A and B are shown apart, each in its own frame.
Chain A
């Protein structure tokens, strides 16, 4: 039966030379940076404004204001209401969008080349002249409060929220990006407008446009639409973001969901910032530990044990240290052995050099997949926007592949020891504590607290009852 196929494996051909699409940068008199990247043959253009101030930069008592302000941008302008704005964009086949992240707010549009100008006119009107109608802001706030209720019922979202809350002390990263029930309840039109004013500064904003741009004078369009924009008097230059760990030594926090058939597991601590000297070593290390399908975590928990549909580990690299976490959803009965396996892999990546095969597979994957990530204008523009929001140099993306190729096994080990701390990890479990509580205590992983699940109730979860 086996002679019907060819035994010998093919060898790769010659790679086609690739470099990240070159882009042109110009600056308008008001400080706005304009990045233009021509991608011939890509008729659906992407345009994105990146405002370099995000949810991590808002006052703690107004948490959620930035996310709400970004959502409220499309609720109408000084010249037309939300419906008119939306309908106008739709007539051009364009969807306007605006989102807040931890580090930046972005607003953009995807549209065919022939319709770029009218679509950009609407984008400019949306970000420069928003009306923030009180009734609509109130509605969006109420929708966010309802969404927080929904999040409590969803084991995945519940686990992520509890994990962030558990690992940070006094950091904005410890709260949900959209704010908590307490802070969101206090948001109103003025606070939303205040959040918008904080990021409203052309000198801290970049417009990125990519796609098939033949015959379009994009710089001229940009200066016509955005050249007269002035900084808001209440605009703020973001400061440092604290990312202190709340995990002095390992502890276990359980959110008890009676009858849950799976346990959502999160183990980790504050990780690393994006701008670190060993970024490329961290990328390779993280791919081996929990990024690739054949990563140590996934091979152990899924392909060997069958505990889960997928196990991963990775860093959320932000302007300051976002979380490092390993994650899996496992069937309830194997909760404790799964946690032990995950901790063992965290130890092992710090204990010795990765193998030559592991190193090659991870480097070759990251290098090889790089061009595949940038097939469409949306992806290219998004990558440039990410570069800008982190304040990285223009040649960062071109240096990526050689830098990954140069990472050694020793550097992987150094990165693991620098950035992964199993002894200073929080273990967060969302699942049926009645089913695994005794095993958990016997395992001696650290002090345990158990919190009752209140999905479906209006109140915040009741006081946690200590079970250790």
Chain B
């Protein structure tokens, strides 16, 4: 049905490392992408932010690589690299001129096998300070910066592994010790907890030889701690509201909903709903709130997929000066409700699919993106071929499926409503009907 076709091979080394190779010689580029099956969901109480802090330590050297040398070698080879941590995983990736592929494989193997040989208190303290500045920069010193943390806390109950953010808390970061880092490495960083994808201008036989040479002797772990049952009731069971007073000039309303887990086809339908609600000028929320009624400065609606129990579906509207917050909230909500009552039109659905198709084709033109998706689908679903089926899944979603998932998810008893209001009188000085105006940071649960 769709034009997506990424051929690949999928195998395992005797030590359990899963190797996926996708050959494509269009550009002289090779991408290496390692997903470790460990994310912030695996963190223990009192040790939040640890998976991410550890990701930083992975750039501080290993047995044969000095501090910050990993990045120096990659850049001097004309490559780019990074690492990211998320609730479900940690990944590390390099995009290289193809004749420099072997270097990237050697570097990934050296830290997978011998990270602790180079670990020092000085490096840990340095990266702890860097990560704390990352938290200040990304959350604490940013207008509306606390929204994602709050939504996550409300949608996942205390004790659920998704209850806390990947960045963690300052207290837990301060408490992280060398022994904690060592323990984390020994627990999670092993070939049989990783997927290595190598994509692009490569010779598969040569890749196998190199991977075997560099990774083959790294021992497997006997076992990994198992997460308990992450399943959750489909809804949060009552409305949650909070008004947050922040250093912002315009009020903003955030919505959060508990939604189906990543991989559930109903989440595909919600992605289509996101396109129809807020994907550009022709979308419903933009058309009504921004263009027609001019209530909002901007609008948004999207989902973040997670495999454990439930995903997050969220959205926001930034309120224009002088507009009553309650009016904006009501108009936004009406659009969500409409989605639950009537099927979207055939034309809306066709346009949304056409845009998603272009986006997918655009993304998959990049070697780095293909490598990331292969690792992702292998790690989360044991099914790297999803890279070739995901677009067809989107293209097969029906208007009825969108309506059905909207009715399941976009319910008053499944919503978190965060209202950010300015510390000082908002522009135009009009009296505003602020929900929960009594004080800042008041939380209430409306059953």
Contacts and interface: CB of A to CB of B under 8 A. Distances in A.
Interface of A: 1-7, 9-10, 12-16, 18, 40-44, 74, 82-83, 86-87, 90-95, 110-112, 136, 139, 142-143, 146-147, 149-150, 152-155, 257, 260-262, 292-294, 299, 302-309, 329-331, 360-361, 364-365, 367-372, 374-378, 455-458
Contacts of A154: 142-143
A91 B350 contact: yes
B110 A329 contact: no
Question: Can you list the 5 inter-chain pairs with the closest CB atoms, starting with the nearest?
Answer: A368-B78, A306-B129, A93-B354, A13-B99, A90-B351
22 contacts: A1-B113, A1-B114, A1-B116, A2-B113, A3-B217, A9-B64, A90-B354, A91-B347, A95-B355, A110-B358, A112-B357, A146-B250, A262-B136, A294-B72, A294-B75, A329-B137, A364-B76, A367-B78, A371-B28, A372-B80, A376-B366, A455-B248
B136 A372 contact: no
Given A4-B114, A261-B141, A456 B365 contact: no
B78 A10 contact: no
B358 A364 contact: no
B219 A4 contact: yes
B358 A95 contact: yes
A309 B135 CA distance: 9
Given A91-B354, A329-B133, A5 B247 contact: no
A260 B145 CA distance: 13
B264 to A, nearest CB: 26
Nearest to A7: B64
Interface in B252-290: 280-282, 287, 290
A69 B138 CA distance: 32
Contacts of A262: 133, 136-137, 140-141
Contacts, number: 262
Contact of B213 (A6, A82, A95): A6
B227 interface: no
Interface in B303-361: 318, 320-321, 347, 350-352, 354-355, 357-358, 361
Contacts of B320: 142, 146
Interface of B: 3, 26-29, 62-64, 67-68, 71-72, 75-80, 95-103, 105-106, 109-110, 113-114, 116-117, 125-134, 136-138, 140-143, 201, 210, 213-214, 217-219, 247-250, 280-282, 287, 290-291, 294, 297, 318, 320-321, 347, 350-352, 354-355, 357-358, 361-362, 365-367, 422-429
Contact of B133 (A87, A294, A308, A365): A308
B297 A146 contact: yes
Given A94-B358, A456-B424, A83 B281 contact: yes
Given A303-B67, A304-B126, A307-B129, A112 B297 contact: no
Given A146-B297, A376-B365, A456-B424, A12 B358 contact: no
Given A2-B63, A153-B247, A308-B133, A44 B217 contact: no
B249 A147 contact: no
Contact of A150 (B105, B141, B143): B143
Residue among B78, B95, B113, B422 having the largest count of chain A Cβ atoms under 10 Å: B78
Contact of B280 (A90, A306, A330): A90
B106 A9 contact: yes
Contact of B77 (A110, A302, A368, A377): A368
A257 to B, nearest CB: 8
A41 B367 CA distance: 13
Nearest to A373: B80
Given A146-B297, A260-B141, A372-B29, A110 B362 contact: yes
A309 B68 contact: no
Given A152-B249, A372-B80, A5 B102 contact: no
B247 A455 contact: yes
A74 B281 contact: yes
Given A4-B219, A303-B126, A86 B282 contact: yes
Contact of A139 (B134, B294, B366): B294
Contacts of B64: 2, 5, 7, 9
B84 to A, nearest CB: 14
Contacts of A360: 76
A457 B27 CA distance: 52
A372 B95 contact: yes
Residue among A7, A44, A87, A257 having the largest count of chain B Cβ atoms under 10 Å: A44
B81 to A, nearest CB: 9
A455 to B, nearest CB: 5
B106 A10 contact: yes
B321 A146 contact: yes
A3 B78 CA distance: 29
A153 B134 CA distance: 19
Nearest to B72: A294
B109 A6 contact: yes
A86 B80 CA distance: 36
A302 B59 CA distance: 13
A136 B26 CA distance: 44
A1 B80 contact: no
Contacts of B114: 1-2, 4-5
Given A4-B113, A261-B136, A303-B68, 20 more contacts: A1-B63, A2-B113, A5-B113, A6-B214, A10-B103, A13-B98, A14-B99, A42-B365, A44-B362, A90-B355, A92-B354, A150-B250, A150-B318, A155-B141, A262-B136, A294-B71, A294-B72, A361-B72, A369-B75, A456-B249
Given A9-B103, A95-B280, A458-B427, A369 B80 contact: yes
A307 B131 CA distance: 10
B125 A306 contact: yes
B67 to A, nearest CB: 7
